[in-house]
Amino acid sequence: MTDGLTQILRTDAKENRDRIVEVAREVFASDGLGVSMREIARRAEVGPATLYRRFPTKKDLILEAFMDEFNTCRDIVRTACDHSDAWRGFCYAIEQLSELNAQNQGFTEAFTSEYPGTVDLLSHRTETLRAFTDLARRAKAQGELRHDFVIDDLILVLTANRGLSTMPPRDRIRAARRFAALMIDAFHTAPTNHTLPPSPSPALTRSIIASRTGPTD
């Protein structure tokens, strides 16, 4: 009975921790690193004492949230590279990285600016690009990836994809999925003729136009 209770308490503690980190990632990405610990506790629906017990300082929480983001990116690339079908792995990486980037509103840049040198991003990026280059080589050998693809094209796509993070939150995922589908079609050796994911709400275009047009324009 005691062992069962202990397991339940451990499970609850892990769920609390995971929820705190997930909420922190979202909040830091959308609102910046200045959000208070109390606000994060409120959004995670835990008491401040619970939050501070797991993360004594705000830096501890920021670092944990960043590492969670960092590991998610690395896991996406590893899963893609482990796929037996290189082209499908390539598509998976584009799709997942597009969604991840769309939800990251400058979190990576803010973290590296505030805590330079805390994480070895150079090694991470070098390892990731090396793995993706090998994946692209295999996809080309299959005849699925266009022969003139270069790794700089991935950087170009991800850089453009970052712009989706400025869209209204409700539209980001749908926009990221459509963007990824368009990019995959562009990289494929032949048109796929598949149906694209739905575009964001029609109101999005109107809101963008409105935000760029002031009363004196």
The pLDDT of residue 110: 65
pLDDT of res. 33? 82
pLDDT on residue 209:
47
170: amino acid identity, one letter? R
Q: What long-range pairs does 149-152 form, CB within 8 A, spacing at least 24?
A: 149/187
Distance separating alpha carbons of residues 3 and 7, to the nearest angstrom: 6
Q: How far is CA 41 from CA 26, 51, 110, 154, in A?
A: 13, 6, 21, 37
Q: For residue 80, what pLDDT is reported?
A: 96
Q: What are the per-10-residue average pLDDT scores of the chain (217 residues)? A: 52 80 83 87 90 90 85 90 96 92 69 67 81 95 93 87 79 89 91 64 51 40
Angle at 175 between CA 212 and CA 73, to 5 degrees: 115
Q: Which residues pair with 42 in a beta bridge?
A: none
- Residue 176 · residue 200 · CB < 8 Å: no
| pLDDT computed for residue 65 by the predictor | 85
Q: How far apart are CA 89 and CA 80, in angstroms?
A: 4
One-letter identity of residue 213: T
The pLDDT score that the predictor gives to residue 83 is 95
> How much is the pLDDT for 81?
95
